[in-house]
Structure 1
């Protein structure tokens, strides 16, 4: 997280092993395993006679689940929320269209359950859990296996954003009508309507973030 926060800029060396072991209170074995993990995620690289240095930002694998979670904890909140929102706006409207075209009985049943949970929610916590599940179920209904892990990947960070948006609204379920429009379009297999409805929903989300 210190690297992601910018405490160690790209190209800068990390402290020596002895210093890191003392700072974190770990053994050499544990430290080296941690450094191997950070290497695999693209954060650092080690070279003979050069030592361990932070790699350029374009080498960082921010779509790794650990990396995304760490980054969400240290990035400026508004900056991170807008970047996550941009990602959603690129993916989810078209995912809703795919879900309308390709949903099967099992995936539609899961989406229906998530929508019903949103309707029945009595507080922010219940709403956020159901809201997150609804968006994950939309991705699951696309019949595109590459989108499912993407949803699982951003799940933890998206949950925080959904909770913030629900608390900013006049009532926690203020966007129920927009979610229902997405749901009904998917059920009707109307891809264009599903894409438009999801775009409207995400527009409401962006307005709350920026407001």
Structure 2
């Protein structure tokens, strides 16, 4: 098989996996229900059996479905879904009610980011602090919502990177795309993002000064304001 044909097939099975996965996450196929037969799915997506089976293998690896002899491909229970898989999280963000999803993501942030800010203050890594300073400066210089959101995202990822815990860095990368959507939701009015700068500055100053307790409190306060905006 040529390289070009392989790439096309990979793109096709990725598209099918996305469409089916999104349908499952949206609730089109309930947990414990059986997906349509192969022939029906092949016709619906206009793909070969090879492409369809590769897509189903992808969904199986992500915990969304399982195949059983003489039964077919069944949707697994929600607690088996790997929602921290980067693809699944992104698919879920696209089909879930926006505010409800934003609040779930917010709960994750409230559990992690204040302690990450405290760790960043204690770590005092100069290179990481420089990255954080650049992000903070970009927020201060932002002239519109798009510039603000990009800088805001860089700021929060920089806090995770500065905490000297390599296990938290992939978490930031994992939620990066969905967090961008939440930040955009919060900054949809110009006055909102202008008003948010002092709270970020308080976090930055506490980390720069090495005050872990103050950094935790400042990040908690920032995220409390974020939650209030989402709920409004």
Task: Return the TM-score normalized by structure 2.
Answer: 0.89
For the pair 1:206 / 2:216, whether they are aligned, the reply is: no
Matched, 1:21 2:77: no
Residue 100 (structure 2) pairs with residue 79 (structure 1): yes
How far apart are the structure 1 equivalents of 2:93 and 2:189?
A: 19
Distance (whole Å) between structure 2 residues aligned to residue 168 and residue 178 of structure 1: 17
CA deviation profile, 1:138-157 (whole Å, cap 9, x unmatched): 00001111100100010101
Q: Distance in 2 between matches of 1:24 and 1:90?
A: 41
SS at match of 1:173: helix
Gaps of 5+ in 2: 1-21
From the superposition, tell whether residues 187 and 25 of structure 1 become closer, same or farther in structure 2 (CA, over 3 Å).
same
CA distance in structure 2 between the partners assigned to 1:143 and 1:103 by the alignment:
9
Deviation, structure 1 residue 170:
2.7
Q: Which of 38, 49, 74 is the equivalent residue of 2:70?
A: 49
Please name the residue that 2:150 is paired with.
129
Q: What is the aligned partner in structure 2 of residue 30 from structure 1? A: 51
Name the structure 2 match of 1:119. 140
Distance 1:207 1:73 in 2: 22
CA distance 1:92–1:191, shift in 2 (3 Å): same
2 CA distance for matches of 1:47 and 1:103?
53
| Aligned-partner Cα distance in 2 for 1:126–1:76 | 25
User: Which one has the bigger helix percentage?
Assistant: 2
Q: How many residues align?
A: 211
TM-score by length of 1: 0.98
Preserved contact between residue 168 and residue 208 of structure 1 (Cα < 8 Å):
no
Q: Does 1:59 align with 2:107?
A: no
CA contact (8 A) 2:186 2:192 kept: no
Partner of residue 147, structure 1: 168
Structure 1 outlier segments of 4+, above 4 Å = none
SS of match in other structure, 1:13: coil
In 2, the alpha carbon distance for the partners of 1:25 and 1:175 equals 48
CA RMSD of aligned residues (A): 0.9
- Deviation at 1:171? 4.1
Once the two structures are superposed, residues 109-128 of structure 1 have per-residue CA deviations (whole angstroms, 9 ceiling, x without a partner) of: 11111011111111110000
- The alignment partner of 2:191 has SS state of coil
**Aligned equivalent of 1:7:** 28
Which runs of no fewer than 5 residues in structure 1 stay unpaired?
Answer: none
